[in-house]
């Protein structure tokens, strides 16, 4: 089984390679990622121009990697085509530099990359970490490795589509892992105007809404110092969200801080 990895921060992003380092111990990994940042690009695909694709040197041995002049969705479509007859078991997108919580999933390039895998019947995981100047990527990478091991070791009907958000904390400071639902009405998009005398410009600004946050939602859980795992699905295809057992939270969190290979019971 091959794991296809993408992101929306670009082929050189720190989070991408932290993720690949962890996943390559589980299965062969192929990286197909945008050649530049594609944050908030959503599910966009490129239909009316050619996509430039370039194989790149990687910092990790035995990892095949390509940069694509396109979106995360483009990358997954291209990657699955390139893998051809190889058995792809999973698409993992991330680690995104910044959380994708609540309404963020509707515009997130990270989530969209995973979505392309899910739409093709594959298991799909999008993983993000809270934005910061210094990232504890190891925390997010370890959790994702354990989660992917669990997915690969269980007979799940159809593909699972999971959105993972990790607080930017050292492993030992993470309080737990929670299965959550998306918070709703979480952001407001506004346009701020500028005028240089000849042309009027607008900057789109995305703001997190204030107020009390439900502690059972993805936002509430991450604010409490927990890792959030939110099962997603696509209603318009009438595919029910898979049932994720509550005891998975304990299994993932137990031993998260231990070095070396992490095994699930």
Q: Is residue 172 included in any domain, yes or no?
A: yes
- Over residues 55-63, the mean pLDDT reads 91
Residue at 97 is within a domain? yes
Number of domains present in the structure of the chain: 1
Please check whether residue 232 lies inside any domain of the structure. Answer: yes
Cα dihedral across residues 38, 44, 48, 51: positive or negative? positive
In a domain, 203, yes or no: no
CA–CA dist 207, 144 (Å, integer): 28
Specify if 102 maps to a domain. yes
Q: What is the pLDDT of residues 124-183, one digit of tens each?
A: 999 999 999 999 999 999 999 999 999 998 877 778 999 999 999 999 999 999 999 999
Q: What's the pTM? A: 0.87
Going by the DSSP 8-state scheme, the letter that residue 69 receives in this structure is S
Q: Is the pLDDT of residue 188 over 80?
A: no
Please report whether residue 178 resides in a domain.
yes
Which ranges in 28-92 belong to alpha helices (H)? 72-83
Domain that holds residue 111: 2-183+213-253
Task: Name which of 97, 19, 101, 103 is nearest 60 in CA terms.
Answer: 19
Q: What is the CATH number of the domain that holds 77?
A: 3.40.1210.10
* Assigned domain for 114 exists: yes
pLDDT in tens, 198-235: 888 888 887 777 776 888 999 999 999 999 999 998 76
């Amino acid at each position: 089984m091959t794991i296809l990895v993408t992101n929306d921060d670009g082929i050189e992003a720190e989070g991408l390679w932290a993720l690949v380092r962890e996943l390559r111990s589980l299965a062969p990994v192929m990286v197909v990622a945008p050649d530049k940042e594609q944050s908030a690009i959503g599910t966009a695909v490129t239909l009316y121009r050619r996509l430039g694709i370039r194989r790149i040197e990687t910092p990790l041995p035995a990892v095949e990697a390509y940069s694509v002049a396109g979106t995360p969705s483009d990358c997954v479509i291209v990657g699955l085509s390139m893998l051809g007859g190889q058995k792809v078991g999973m698409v993992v997108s991330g680690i995104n530099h910044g959380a994708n919580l609540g309404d963020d999933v509707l515009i997130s390039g990270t989530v969209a990359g995973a979505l392309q895998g899910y739409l093709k019947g594959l298991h799909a995981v999008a993983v993000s970490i809270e934005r910061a100047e210094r990232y504890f990527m190891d925390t997010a990478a370890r959790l994702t490795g354990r989660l992917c091991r669990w997915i690969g070791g269980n007979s799940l009907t159809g593909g699972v589509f999971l959105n993972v958000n990790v607080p930017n904390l050292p492993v030992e400071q993470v309080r737990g892992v929670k299965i959550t639902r998306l918070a709703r009405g979480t952001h407001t998009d506004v346009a701020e105007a500028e005028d240089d005398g000849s042309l009027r410009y607008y900057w789109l600004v995305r703001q997190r809404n204030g107020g009390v946050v439900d502690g059972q939602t993805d936002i509430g859980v991450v604010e409490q110092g927990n890792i959030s795992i939110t099962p997603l699905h696509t209603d318009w295809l009438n595919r029910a969200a898979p049932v994720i057992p509550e005891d998975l939270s304990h299994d993932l969190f137990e031993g998260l801080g231990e070095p070396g290979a992490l095994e699930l019971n």
